[in-house]
Amino acid sequence: MNVCGGHERAITLAGLRSVLPPGIELIPGPGCPVCICPEEEIYQAMQLALHEQITLLAFGDMLRVPVNLPLREIRTLEQAKAAGADIRPIASPTEAVRIAAGLPGRPVVFFAAGFETTIAPVAAMLAEGVPDNLALLLSGRLTWPAVAMLLNSGEAGFDALIAPGHVATVMGPEEWEFLVQEHRLPAAIAGFTPDSLLAAIYSTLRQRLEGRIFLDNCYPEVVRAGGNPAARAVLDRTLDVVDANWRGIGTILASGFALKASLAAHDAGRLYPSYNDPERSRLGQMPAGCDCARVVLGRIYPDGCKLYGATCTPRTPVGPCMVSDEGACRIWWAGGVIASGQRETV
């Protein structure tokens, strides 16, 4: 299993599955932060943009994820923007600072979803100091607790893990040692090129065949012992690790980031009321008929969902896995995969 949309993209676009011998399956797992971002948090961001006098910033991927509302209503940040809300896609936390600094007196909310690689830059932005009018709606997650949860569930459905290269660059490879220590699972950290991924796949196979299980580093260019100490320091200084909800999965212990109390003045979760009505239909769930939850968990391949390529395509996405550039469904569809012949993993 891989747990990174960047890995899945490289695997699919290079056609690695088609050249591997039978018996080796590459399963896309929970590797897409947009896909597991709680539906109610996207809803909250959208309602803030529609009902508060604010400017909302978000990474571009997030703008087209539909929330569970009737088709006639405003269902995405993109539609809210078209309806007049001030919503701006950004590509870097530095843009959030620049935009907020350029709008003195106007509240700016940065809806930041991402894994460690994205949240460390957000933490760096906070540590460096942000304008008074910039607040964060943070939906940051740690990747390894999701893998630990799958392994502890008793039905993991995979025999080896390709660990995410840039998460390990920031946090250090040591985070993934539990795979070997606690689960005797072959594991290798990979970069984002076919050769690094092939090296990692080969390493895990050899580990299994030789019975010599260890955490291999197939991305030594940037993955070093201890990770990036400055990045980890800014994370520690600005954010707490908390239990967090993953869309389609549920709560995973110690798997999310939250702003420290000292940054309460920049915490949009504290500054604004919740617009989520607990009575709203399908609150927090995946859309009706959508199998994104099982895709995210690696229980089925994208084409195992009956909506894949039928009613759900990148032009008319139903679930988040078909929206995000890191969603397995979108990657498979962009890669021309109509049917894989491998629909279920367990």
Partner 1 sequence: MCLGIPMQVVEIEGFNARCEAKGVYREVSLFMLQGEDVQVGDHVMVHVGYAIQTMTPQEARSSWELFDELLEAEDLTAVPGGEHV
Q: By CB under 8 A, is residue 174 in contact with partner 1?
A: no
Q: By CB under 8 A, is residue 121 in contact with partner 1?
A: yes
E strands along 191-271, which residues? 215-218, 239-246, 250-259
Q: By CB under 8 A, is residue 27 in contact with partner 1?
A: no
Write the interaction track for partner 1 spanning residues 32-71; mark x where CB under 8 A is met and - where it is not: -x-------------------------x-x----------
List the one residue out of 114, 128, 133, 156 whose CA is nearest residue 54. Answer: 133
Write the interaction track for partner 1 spanning residues 223-242; mark x where CB under 8 A is met and - where it is not: -x---xxxx--x--------
Kindly provide the b/e burial profile for residues 307-316, where b requires at least 16 CB atoms within 10 angstroms of the residue's own CB. bbbeebebee
Q: By CB under 8 A, is residue 187 in contact with partner 1?
A: no
Q: By CB under 8 A, is residue 243 in contact with partner 1?
A: no
List the one residue out of 125, 122, 225, 112 whose CA is nearest residue 175. Answer: 225
Task: Tell me the one-letter amino acid at 311.
Answer: T
Candidate residues 26, 99, 120, 134; the one interacting with partner 1 per rule CB under 8 A: 120
- Rounded-to-integer distance, Cα 201 and Cα 194, Å: 10
Angle at which helices 116-128 and 229-238 cross, to 10°: 70
The residues in 315-344 that bind partner 1, with binding defined as CB under 8 A, are 315, 325-326, 330, 333-336, 338
Q: By CB under 8 A, is residue 5 in contact with partner 1?
A: yes
Q: From residue 255, how far is each of 73, 165, 285 by CA, in Å?
A: 32, 18, 19
Write the interaction track for partner 1 spanning residues 205-224; mark x where CB under 8 A is met and - where it is not: ----------------xx-x
- Are residues 35 and 298 in contact, defined by beta-carbon separation less than 8 angstroms? no
Question: Which spans of this chain sit near partner 1 (rule: CB under 8 A)?
Answer: 4-6, 9-10, 13-15, 31, 33, 59, 61, 91-95, 114-115, 117-118, 120-121, 124, 127-128, 164-167, 169-170, 191-195, 221-222, 224, 228-231, 234, 309, 313-315, 325-326, 330, 333-336, 338
